[in-house]
Amino acid sequence: MNQLPGIDDRTRDELEAEVFRRLVQHLRDRPQVQNIDLMNLADFCRNCLSNWLKDAADARGLALSKEQSREAVYGMPYDEWKALHQKEATPEQQAAFAGRQPQH
Protein backbone atom coordinates (compact mmCIF):
# COMPACT_ATOMS: atom_id res chain seq x y z
CA MET A 1 0.00 0.00 0.00
CA ASN A 2 1.43 3.33 -1.06
CA GLN A 3 1.35 5.72 1.89
CA LEU A 4 3.13 8.55 0.12
CA PRO A 5 0.44 10.69 -1.56
CA GLY A 6 1.33 11.88 -5.03
CA ILE A 7 4.20 9.41 -5.42
CA ASP A 8 3.79 6.47 -7.79
CA ASP A 9 4.62 2.92 -6.71
CA ARG A 10 7.86 2.72 -8.71
CA THR A 11 9.19 5.94 -7.20
CA ARG A 12 8.10 4.78 -3.74
CA ASP A 13 10.03 1.53 -4.26
CA GLU A 14 13.11 3.52 -5.29
CA LEU A 15 12.81 5.77 -2.23
CA GLU A 16 12.36 2.79 0.08
CA ALA A 17 15.37 1.06 -1.47
CA GLU A 18 17.48 4.15 -0.79
CA VAL A 19 16.23 4.28 2.80
CA PHE A 20 17.17 0.61 3.25
CA ARG A 21 20.68 1.26 1.88
CA ARG A 22 21.09 4.24 4.22
CA LEU A 23 19.89 2.22 7.21
CA VAL A 24 22.33 -0.58 6.40
CA GLN A 25 25.19 1.91 6.01
CA HIS A 26 24.17 3.63 9.24
CA LEU A 27 24.43 0.31 11.08
CA ARG A 28 27.73 -0.58 9.37
CA ASP A 29 29.14 2.74 10.54
CA ARG A 30 28.14 1.92 14.12
CA PRO A 31 29.47 -1.56 14.89
CA GLN A 32 29.65 -0.63 18.57
CA VAL A 33 25.85 -0.83 18.63
CA GLN A 34 25.27 -4.43 19.57
CA ASN A 35 22.49 -6.52 18.02
CA ILE A 36 21.10 -7.39 21.44
CA ASP A 37 20.69 -3.67 22.18
CA LEU A 38 18.85 -3.20 18.89
CA MET A 39 16.60 -6.16 19.72
CA ASN A 40 15.90 -4.88 23.22
CA LEU A 41 15.12 -1.37 22.03
CA ALA A 42 13.60 -1.83 18.58
CA ASP A 43 12.70 -5.54 18.29
CA PHE A 44 14.93 -5.97 15.22
CA CYS A 45 18.64 -6.17 14.49
CA ARG A 46 21.09 -6.63 11.64
CA ASN A 47 20.26 -10.33 11.49
CA CYS A 48 16.58 -9.47 11.08
CA LEU A 49 17.42 -7.19 8.16
CA SER A 50 19.48 -9.91 6.53
CA ASN A 51 16.69 -12.44 7.07
CA TRP A 52 14.15 -10.04 5.53
CA LEU A 53 16.47 -9.55 2.55
CA LYS A 54 16.74 -13.31 2.10
CA ASP A 55 12.95 -13.70 2.45
CA ALA A 56 12.44 -11.10 -0.29
CA ALA A 57 14.92 -12.89 -2.57
CA ASP A 58 13.31 -16.26 -1.84
CA ALA A 59 9.86 -14.85 -2.66
CA ARG A 60 11.19 -13.88 -6.08
CA GLY A 61 12.94 -17.19 -6.68
CA LEU A 62 16.39 -15.62 -6.44
CA ALA A 63 19.32 -17.62 -5.14
CA LEU A 64 20.60 -15.80 -2.07
CA SER A 65 22.12 -17.76 0.79
CA LYS A 66 21.85 -16.78 4.44
CA GLU A 67 25.57 -16.04 4.42
CA GLN A 68 25.24 -13.80 1.36
CA SER A 69 22.32 -11.87 2.83
CA ARG A 70 24.24 -11.35 6.08
CA GLU A 71 27.31 -10.16 4.21
CA ALA A 72 25.11 -7.70 2.29
CA VAL A 73 23.94 -6.21 5.59
CA TYR A 74 27.13 -6.49 7.66
CA GLY A 75 29.47 -5.46 4.82
CA MET A 76 31.70 -8.46 5.52
CA PRO A 77 31.30 -12.14 6.35
CA TYR A 78 29.20 -12.51 9.51
CA ASP A 79 31.85 -14.53 11.38
CA GLU A 80 34.41 -11.80 10.66
CA TRP A 81 32.01 -9.09 11.92
CA LYS A 82 31.33 -11.08 15.10
CA ALA A 83 35.05 -11.55 15.75
CA LEU A 84 35.73 -7.84 15.26
CA HIS A 85 32.69 -6.25 16.89
CA GLN A 86 30.41 -8.56 18.86
CA LYS A 87 30.81 -8.45 22.60
CA GLU A 88 29.51 -10.91 25.15
CA ALA A 89 26.05 -9.85 26.26
CA THR A 90 25.94 -8.52 29.80
CA PRO A 91 23.62 -10.10 32.35
CA GLU A 92 21.47 -6.96 32.11
CA GLN A 93 21.22 -7.23 28.32
CA GLN A 94 20.37 -10.92 28.58
CA ALA A 95 17.70 -10.26 31.22
CA ALA A 96 16.12 -7.51 29.13
CA PHE A 97 16.10 -9.80 26.10
CA ALA A 98 14.61 -12.67 28.07
CA GLY A 99 11.98 -10.35 29.52
CA ARG A 100 10.73 -9.31 26.10
CA GLN A 101 10.28 -12.83 24.76
CA PRO A 102 6.73 -14.17 24.47
CA GLN A 103 5.92 -16.59 27.24
CA HIS A 104 4.76 -20.07 26.15
CA-nearest of 49, 6, 59, 58 to 26 is: 49
Residue 72 belongs to a domain: yes
Residue 2 belongs to a domain: no
Q: Which helix (H) or strand (E) holds 98?
A: helix 91-100
pLDDT in tens, the chain (104 residues): 668 889 999 999 999 999 999 999 999 999 999 999 999 999 999 999 999 999 999 999 999 999 999 999 999 999 999 999 999 999 999 999 998 866 54
Residue 101 belongs to a domain: no
Residue 3 belongs to a domain: no
Number of domains in the chain: 1
pLDDT of residue 84: 96
